[in-house]
Amino acid sequence: MVEYDFSGKVAFVTGAAHGQGRSHAQHYAKHGADVVVTDIGENMETVPYDLGTTAELDETVGLIEDEGQDALAIQMDVRDETQVEAAVDEALDEFGRIDILANNAGIAHFCDLVEMDEAMWDEMLDTNLKGVWLASKHVGKHFIDRGDGGKIVSTSSIYGKVAGPGSGHYIAAKHGVLGLTKTLALELAEYDVNVNAVCPTGVDTPMITGVTEAYGSEALEAATDMTGPWNIFGDGGMIESRDISEAYMWLSSDAARYVTGIGLPVDAGMLAK
């Protein structure tokens, strides 16, 4: 593991109850940061699997504290601006600053666009795109007010760069994250804020497990039927959360000080196909 130094810094991680968000929070703590972890703590109407719970969020806090760092858990729905603003204020009251925003919260489900109802579209776009904007807006205001830089890293997807059947709302949101990232990079550059995104291939997380259990393995096969297996390394299966966390660490560090406005694929070569 590369050694980054986030000593004295505070990371704010959304969707941190389990999966990639928990991994990112742990990695920030391993490298010396105190961490604010947030999650919705309840299920959504259109999502056919269980989302992160407050108990899991508390477990993430314990993992951060095991690394010798301070942690703050906040139940927060990224779709609700009042909750996002309050969570950012609570984090600032607790730690005095935020240095890194990790926009990880997201959901997934499958439906052809011509069959999709409005609620499914709205929950997807509100969570996977609007939520990134709201967190970036309120942490970004803090970065501007403080005036000494910051980092925003958001999770897009390989499906932020290509299309696939059965998940047009997800693909639209993830393409939107890349457009949002590029625009924020331009708007916040004068404040020395780097804004980037990570574009993972399939990652072995509770979200993927939940989608597979809800729809059957055929759903994932349909989503990749134009490209074959997920990636060109190994057996073509999923990669691990830590692989995405390492990209987050680099983009959050001074090693990437001149990197901004990009969508970094961590795709095991999938896009090369």
Active site residues: 170
The C-alpha atoms of residue 137 and residue 162 are separated, in whole angstroms, by 27
The C-alpha atoms of residue 41 and residue 65 are separated, in whole angstroms, by 20
The C-alpha atoms of residue 269 and residue 203 are separated, in whole angstroms, by 14
Q: Which amino acid is it at 177?
A: V
Phi (first) and psi of residue 41, to 5 degrees: 75, 10
> Which among 250, 242, 160, 166 has a CA at the least distance from the CA of 205?
242
Q: Which amino acid is it at 160?
A: G
**What is the DSSP code (8-state) at residue 93?**
H
Burial profile 59-82: b = 16 or more Cβ within 10 angstroms, e = fewer: bbbebbeebebebbbbbbbbbbbe
CB atoms within 10 A of CB 29: 24
The C-alpha atoms of residue 72 and residue 41 are separated, in whole angstroms, by 15
The C-alpha atoms of residue 253 and residue 54 are separated, in whole angstroms, by 29
The C-alpha atoms of residue 166 and residue 47 are separated, in whole angstroms, by 15
Residue whose structure tokens are 């959304």? 14
Locate the DSSP E strands across 83-163.
100-103, 150-155
